[in-house]
């Protein structure tokens, strides 16, 4: 079979995923404010897609190499056209959904108003708000049609057109832009009037004050339309050899703000002369991804739409759970010395990880701490704990990944703080991102070194831990932690290969190790023994790995895959993948754990991992896949996988014949996996208390 028959194109699969996010915004069963936030997630995802994937395909299309093919043999130029067409359709759907949401909000006495709908008794509040919070942050640039101007490093701005009386001005038009800075609050919550809650977008507040901003101009008429541009986010790390790695990262992040635009979304009511000028200023090709939209395009802002003190319009807040037999008041290191524990955030509290590091910082017997960092919250308790440890005389080694996309600046600032506190910092291995989520500490006990540590599927980030589902294994298993320490040695001494009996480590061992595990299931099935493969991952795009799963299916091995995002595998094709089933779950939390379960003749081999089944994770990054040996934790992972697999509320069947996202239907009782998973862990706590 040709690639086009065996695999879904990666970019189209990603757009399918974002359409699933849009389904949540359209779902009337979802609380109204949460639907608005899903619209924001959809828009934010689309921005990143254009910054990364679309920009990559565009570079391929513009290259001088013959063929101009992307992965799978697709023509890059044709793919760009297909993407643009699909995005226009999705944007149109999102506009329709937003209009329906706004109508539903009116039924709840919540109204969006624009600059023409302001009530007289609201004017003084808005004027004060504008003068104190908005006006000082505005950057207004008068445009000159003849002169080249790099007029914005921002992503969204209002383009202004003023018209004058010809008898009083040599030119009858003047254009300007107002940059809308990212740190401005986008939603102004006005005081209630007659129990009606009014909301105003910052764009409309600015429009309402055009008379103040442009009081210098004696214009006859004025109008402002929103433009949003998306730029290529690829970092350029070539250049002067004498510059350090960190200097190149800093300069590349700055250059990103002025890199080539790959998409422009504009208000479709904008005048032709205004649009023409903006495209000229941005040096945009009319044949590029120029997308008409509505009045407001910076819709990722809806991710932070306020709750308005309306708990009935948002998801219920669930208290984070503790681990049975391990209250947060307990000594975590002492508990881990006796058995392994696992947290599954956000159902469990991320505070366990912070407490582990804080105990390590204070314990006089702790001599060394090693940790990898990929993404952090801006105010990070993890960083504070590591600095605390260094100040207490511990040897702290931190590998911090400066190429974590869109987190480069935050990671550089964190690295600077750590280094100033005496922490040993490394920025990884040339040519390889370090994406593993690992920590090991060394404690002196009875004149010998004993290791404690954790391995996780997610980032050590307090903020995302509240909305991303992830497993973190806490262990004192010396066999596992000896190998975790080997990974740190590999990071410190680049390309000095290590051998592993327990961990599966990229970039050298992952592909072959997973192949052997799949081959074992094929062999067991051929001997009529219990076999099967269960995977829970974010993305699966590696063609060789997909072909291996196809082969297992052809040999009769049953395979269940839960994939959140990109899935290039096509399930259910007779003679190819008829034994493979794939579902995707999009709900309140972002599904983020990577789990592999191999039936192994009723003695399951279970792994958690930082790696997806993508070529980059398998052969271009440092990733750690860790076995689970504790029987209680094995059962929890098997049980929670089963709950997710049986979801019949938020699970979709994906990559069907028409590549649609079809809600999984069942006559069984409703199972909403994220709700049922919380209840599963809550019951474990209650059973332990009883």
Kind and range of the H or E run holding 373? strand 366-373
Read off the pLDDT of residues 578-590 as tens digits, 9 standing for 90 and up: 999 999 999 999 9
How open is the CA angle 673-678-683, to the nearest 5 degrees?
120
Question: Of the ranges 381-395, 630-644, 661-675, which one carries the lowest mean pLDDT score?
Answer: 661-675
Read off the pLDDT of residues 359-402 as tens digits, 9 standing for 90 and up: 999 999 999 999 999 888 888 899 999 999 999 999 999 998 87
If you ran DSSP here, which 8-state letter would residue 650 be given?
A: S
The pTM assigned to this predicted structure is 0.88
| Domain covering 504-689, topology | Endonuclease; Chain A (3.30.870)
> Is pLDDT above 80 for 660?
no
All structural domains of the chain with their residue ranges: 1-104, 109-228+264-310, 332-492, 504-689
| Domain covering 109-228+264-310, topology | polyphosphate kinase like (3.30.1840)
Can you give the pLDDT at residue 611?
A: 96
Q: Spell out the SS3 assignment of 611-633.
A: CCECHHHHHCEEEEEEECCCHHH
Can you give the pLDDT at residue 67?
A: 56
Of 297, 435, 525, 592, which residue is the catalytic one? 435
Q: How confident is the model at residue 252 (pLDDT cuts 50, 70, 90)?
A: very low
> Is pLDDT above 50 for 242?
no
| Domain covering 1-104, topology | Methane Monooxygenase Hydroxylase; Chain G, domain 1 (1.20.58)
Question: Which residue carries 């608005």 as its tokens?
Answer: 36
> Is pLDDT above 50 for 235?
no
More confident residue, 87 or 568: 568
Question: What letters, b where the CB count within 10 A reaches 16 and e where it falls short, cover 664-687?
Answer: beeeeeebbbbbbbbebbeebbee
Kind and range of the H or E run holding 359? helix 351-362
Question: Which residue carries 């129990």 as its tokens?
Answer: 195
Question: Of the ranges 242-256, 332-346, 440-454, 625-639, which one carries the lowest mean pLDDT score?
Answer: 242-256
Question: Which residue carries 């990722």 as its tokens?
Answer: 300
Question: Which residue carries 């680049």 as its tokens?
Answer: 494
Is 435 considered catalytic here? Answer: yes
> Is pLDDT above 90 for 553?
yes
Please compute the mean of the pLDDT values over residues 177-189 and round it to a whole number.
84
DSSP string, 419-480: HHTT-EEE--BTTBEE---EEEEEEEETTEEEEEEEEESS-S-TTGGGTEEEEEEEE--HHH
Average pLDDT of the chain? Answer: 88
The two structure tokens encoding residue 353:
């990880």
The two structure tokens encoding residue 177:
């832009």
Query: Do 1-104 and 504-689 agree at the fold level?
Result: no
Kind and range of the H or E run holding 252? helix 245-256
| Alpha-carbon distances of 422 from 211, 389, 393, 425, rounded to whole Å | 54, 10, 9, 9
Nearest alpha-carbon partner for 14 in 490, 448, 614? 614
Please compute the mean of the pLDDT values over residues 516-523 and round it to a whole number.
98
Nearest alpha-carbon partner for 156 in 265, 9, 274, 46? 265
Can you give the pLDDT at residue 600?
A: 98
Nearest alpha-carbon partner for 606 in 596, 615, 617? 596
Contacts of 603 (CB under 8 A, 6+ apart): none
Q: How confident is the model at residue 249 (pLDDT cuts 50, 70, 90)?
A: very low
Instruction: Give the span between the Cα atoms of 638 and 636, in whole angstroms.
Output: 5
Q: How confident is the model at residue 236 (pLDDT cuts 50, 70, 90)?
A: very low
Can you give the pLDDT at residue 76?
A: 84
> Is pLDDT above 50 for 357?
yes
Q: Which CATH architecture has domain 332-492?
A: 2-Layer Sandwich (3.30)
Give me the percent of the chain exceeding a pLDDT of 90.
Answer: 63
């Amino acid at each position: 079979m040709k690639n086009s028959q065996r695999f879904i194109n990666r970019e189209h699969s990603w757009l399918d995923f974002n359409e699933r996010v849009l389904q949540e915004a359209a779902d009337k069963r979802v609380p109204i404010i949460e639907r608005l936030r899903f619209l924001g997630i959809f828009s934010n995802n689309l921005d990143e897609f254009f910054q990364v994937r679309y920009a990559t395909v565009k570079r391929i299309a513009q290259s001088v190499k013959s063929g101009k093919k992307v992965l799978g043999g697709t023509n890059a130029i044709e793919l760009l056209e297909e993407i643009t067409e699909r995005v226009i359709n999705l944007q149109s759907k999102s506009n329709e959904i937003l209009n329906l949401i706004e109508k539903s909000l009116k039924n709840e006495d919540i109204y969006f108003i624009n600059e023409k709908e302001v009530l007289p008794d609201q004017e003084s509040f808005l004027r004060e708000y504008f003068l104190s919070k908005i006006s000082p942050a505005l950057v207004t640039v008068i445009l000159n049609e003849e002169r080249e101007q790099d007029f914005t490093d921002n992503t969204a701005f209002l383009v202004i057109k003023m018209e004058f009386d010809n008898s009083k001005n040599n030119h009858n038009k003047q254009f300007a832009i107002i940059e809308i800075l990212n740190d401005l609050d986008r939603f102004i919550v006005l005081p209630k009037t007659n129990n009606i809650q009014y909301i105003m977008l910052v764009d409309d507040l600015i429009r309402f004050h055009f008379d103040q901003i442009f009081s210098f101009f004696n214009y006859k008429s004025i109008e402002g339309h929103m433009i949003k541009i998306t730029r290529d986010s690829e970092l350029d790390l070539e250049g002067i050899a004498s510059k350090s790695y960190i200097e190149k990262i800093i300069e590349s992040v700055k250059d990103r703000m002025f890199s080539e635009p790959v998409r422009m979304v504009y208000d479709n009511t904008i005048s032709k002369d205004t649009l023409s000028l903006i495209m000229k200023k941005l040096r945009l090709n009319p044949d590029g991804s120029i997308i008409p939209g509505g009045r407001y395009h910076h819709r990722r802002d809806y991710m932070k739409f306020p709750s308005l003190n309306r708990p009935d319009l948002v998801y219920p807040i669930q208290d984070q759970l503790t681990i049975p037999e391990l209250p947060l008041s307990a000594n975590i290191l002492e508990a881990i010395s006796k058995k392994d524990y696992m947290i599954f955030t956000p159902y469990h509290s991320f505070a366990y990880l912070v407490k582990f590091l804080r105990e390590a910082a204070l314990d006089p017997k702790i001599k060394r701490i090693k940790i990898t960092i990929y993404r952090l919250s801006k105010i990070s308790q993890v960083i504070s704990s590591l600095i605390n440890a260094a100040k207490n005389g511990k040897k702290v080694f931190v590998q911090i990944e400066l190429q974590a996309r869109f987190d480069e600046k935050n990671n550089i600032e964190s690295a600077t703080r750590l280094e100033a506190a005496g922490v040993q910092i490394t920025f990884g291995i040339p040519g390889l991102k370090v994406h593993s989520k690992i920590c090991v500490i060394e404690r002196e006990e009875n004149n010998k070194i004993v290791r404690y540590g954790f391995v996780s599927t997610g980032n050590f980030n307090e903020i995302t831990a509240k909305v991303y589902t992830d497993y973190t294994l806490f262990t004192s298993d010396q066999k596992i932690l000896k190998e975790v320490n080997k990974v740190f040695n590999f990071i410190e001494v680049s390309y000095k290969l290590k051998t592993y009996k327990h961990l599966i480590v990229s970039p050298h061992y992952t592909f072959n190790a997973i192949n052997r595990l799949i081959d074992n299931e094929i062999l067991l099935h051929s001997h009529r023994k219990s076999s099967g493969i269960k995977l829970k991952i974010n993305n699966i795009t590696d063609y060789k790995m997909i072909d291996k799963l196809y082969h297992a299916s052809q040999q009769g091995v049953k395979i269940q895959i839960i994939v959140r995002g990109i899935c290039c595998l096509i399930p259910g094709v007779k003679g190819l993948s008829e034994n493979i089933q794939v579902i995707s779950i999009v709900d309140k939390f972002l599904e983020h754990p990577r789990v592999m379960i191999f039936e192994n003749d009723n003695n399951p081999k279970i792994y958690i991992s930082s790696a997806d089944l993508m070529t980059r994770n398998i052969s271009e990054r440092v990733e750690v896949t860790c076995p689970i040996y504790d029987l209680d934790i094995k059962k929890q992972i098997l049980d929670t996988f089963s709950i997710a697999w049986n979801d019949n509320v938020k699970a979709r069947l994906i990559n069907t014949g028409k590549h649609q996202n079809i809600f999984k239907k069942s006559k069984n009782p409703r199972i909403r996996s994220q709700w049922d998973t919380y209840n599963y862990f809550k019951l474990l706590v209650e059973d332990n208390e009883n």
